[in-house]
A and B are shown apart, each in its own frame.
Chain A
Amino acid sequence: MEVKYAKTKGLTDKPLTYCPGCTHGIVHKLVAEALDELGLLGEAVGIASVGCSVFSYEFFNCDMQQAPHGRACAEATGIKRVRPDLTVFTYQGDGDLASIGIAETIHAANRGENITVIFINNAIYGMTGGQMAPTTLIGQRTTTSQGGRTLAQHGNPIKISEIFAQIEGVAYLERVATFNPKQVLNAKKAIKKAFTYQKEKRGFTMIEVLSTCPVNWGMTPIDALEWVKTSMTPIYPLGLFKDKGDFHE
């Protein structure tokens, strides 16, 4: 019998711990498939960050390190500098990357560290119960912005891809989403390209993935996907932000 579809070798058999309707699971699958299809699983080292994806070291079927909150890009730098032969990636949420870890991330990018960052932007702190993130939208209600985020009180949502696009060391940067099958396929293409660029030693690569948090947004999974499309993409437009073809070493 011909196998049409099978679970990727890039994921372990451990059941995912994510909430129903959360798109972490889809992104995990895309990263895992990309590594497997590119033949990189055996040389991959992933960095699990702090947040909902803290247990990603149990899910990705490769060597993993668990990093302190925000420090994933520093860990990745340490690994890559002593083992440039390995494929090194971080998997970080918006609190981890855009708030507490922005210094580590921006300097890893500026050094042109030859690593891949998978940045999950769901505009909220999920693991700790729905607090405001630096990426929370204006007007969005969270447990620490109960009347909705305001410009006067909290400032604007931070646009990571727009900021990082200006950095010379960034070789490839794209913002993608997972709210429909077309976007999922496009996200996978982008993730594969990022790992390919790393293999070709082109420099820092980052894929920002707009993701959902139905539980903390107080929405059904379907409504959450729709909210990404209608509310998030106007603030965080999808698309290619940087593609630097030349080699970096």
Chain B
Amino acid sequence: MGRILMKGNEAIAVAAIRGGIDAFFGYPITPQNEIPEYLSKHLLANGKAFVQAESEVAAINMVYGAAGAGARVMTSSSSPGIALKQEGISYLCGAQLPAVIVSVMRGGPGLGGIQPSQADYYQATRGGGNGDYNLIVFGPETIQETVDIMKEAFAIADQYRNPVLVLVDGLIGQMMESIDLDRPVKERNLPPKDYATTGTRNHPGRHIINSLYLDPLELENHNKKLQQKYALVKAQETRYETVDLEDADYVIVAYGTMARIVRSAMETLKKLGIKVGMIRPITIWPYPEAAFDLIKADCKGILCTEMSAGQMLDDVLIANNGRHKVAFYGRMGGMVPDPEEIVAAIKNFSDWVVK
């Protein structure tokens, strides 16, 4: 088919169709509305399910029901809307149901604003739902990478029986880029959906979708199984990119939109004779801690940059484990930093070191 120019949110919708989506349930919120708009037309026209729910809470529970019945299900929202879905997300994890959730971040807290932000890193990786659970979280940098991940996301969710969260910001959702929809997707050997509630006439025994275990020992054993699964996800699905890392005197850590800005800053820094490299987490849960082992011992410091007050910074500090000086530079509220700001932060590194 070749390359076509597409808006990020619409590309997410098209990629979801390529990924085999059966049903979408969502509620309008800026800046992700093109996703449900596109899918409302194309899913119903192809005999698939689409419901504009009465709330984000209802939408995530429709996802639960349909996923429990064995379908490939998706919802999308933005920051305050994702906050409302947290209850359902916890239940999805507890009941081990696969689903794809797209979060197009905007500034917060509260109603916040509608400009791009990365202030929902905690929300995505630490969660707001109850209990010991993790989502498999991707933080793609380009629309192409978002499309590639979306095409694979349903299969990843099915493989681990766990929700996958694709975390982008309003910038990626709203901008247009040239993309190739036909890039190959990794083949996965998926387990049968032997949990799906499709009626006892269609399978032996009764299928029950449930997250309730009143016996504490039983609940602990259930949690142990979940933790074993998360360990497997860490071992098998952690993804990252490194750029010029090996001999870098300064290492910048950035994901999503911030990584695009860092690439521009790196060009300027190189012209100034500063050896700079980048670690770009592609999965932000599991976090690519191993990438930090590739930083040379006499590196002068690591700069974490985010469009937030410093949330991924926690993971950078954990991964660094006290080896190098760590600095942070961020903007908040929907302000997107210029590359020059990142250049200045490296040049004045000591001013930004985290105490």
Contact = CB atoms under 8 A, between A and B. Distances in A.
Contacts of A57: 208, 210
Given A77-B58, A86-B197, 9 more contacts: A42-B199, A45-B198, A65-B68, A66-B209, A66-B212, A71-B88, A75-B61, A78-B67, A81-B49
A61 B65 contact: no
A66 B208 contact: yes
Interface in B7-59: 22-23, 25, 49, 51, 53-55, 57-59
A42 B201 contact: yes
A103 B54 contact: yes
Nearest to A67: B61
A152 interface: no
Given A45-B69, A79-B69, A82-B23, A63 B200 contact: yes
8 contacts: A47-B65, A63-B197, A66-B208, A67-B61, A75-B62, A78-B62, A81-B23, A103-B57
Contacts of B201: 42-43
A135 B167 CA distance: 42
A77 B218 CA distance: 30
Contacts of B55: 103
Given A66-B212, A82-B66, A86-B69, A71 B57 contact: yes
Contacts of A47: 65
A75 B206 contact: no
B71 interface: yes
Interface of B: 22-23, 25, 49, 51, 53-55, 57-59, 61-71, 73, 87-88, 91, 95, 197-202, 206-212
Contact of A111 (B51, B57, B61): B51
A70 B309 CA distance: 36
Contact of A63 (B59, B64, B91, B207): B207
A220 B209 CA distance: 36
Contacts of B95: 66
B216 to A, nearest CB: 17
A133 interface: no
A189 interface: no
A62 B206 contact: yes
A44 B208 CA distance: 12
B200 A82 contact: no
Given A54-B212, A78-B63, A61 B206 contact: yes
- The SS class assigned to the B binding surface is mixed
A65 B68 CA distance: 7
A107 interface: yes
Contacts of A107: 53-54, 58
B83 to A, nearest CB: 15
Contacts of B73: 78, 82
Given A42-B200, A107-B58, A79 B66 contact: yes
Nearest to A54: B212
Nearest to A50: B212
B66 A65 contact: no
Contacts of B59: 74
B91 A81 contact: no
B72 to A, nearest CB: 9
A76 interface: yes
B197 A77 contact: no
Given A82-B69, A104-B54, A66 B211 contact: yes
Chain B CB within 10 Å — which of A47, A48, A78 has the most?
Answer: A78
A68 B58 contact: no
A83 interface: yes
A78 B66 contact: yes
B54 A65 contact: no
Nearest to A100: B57
A47 B208 CA distance: 10
A16 interface: no
B65 A78 contact: yes
Given A63-B206, A75-B68, A103-B54, A83 B198 contact: yes
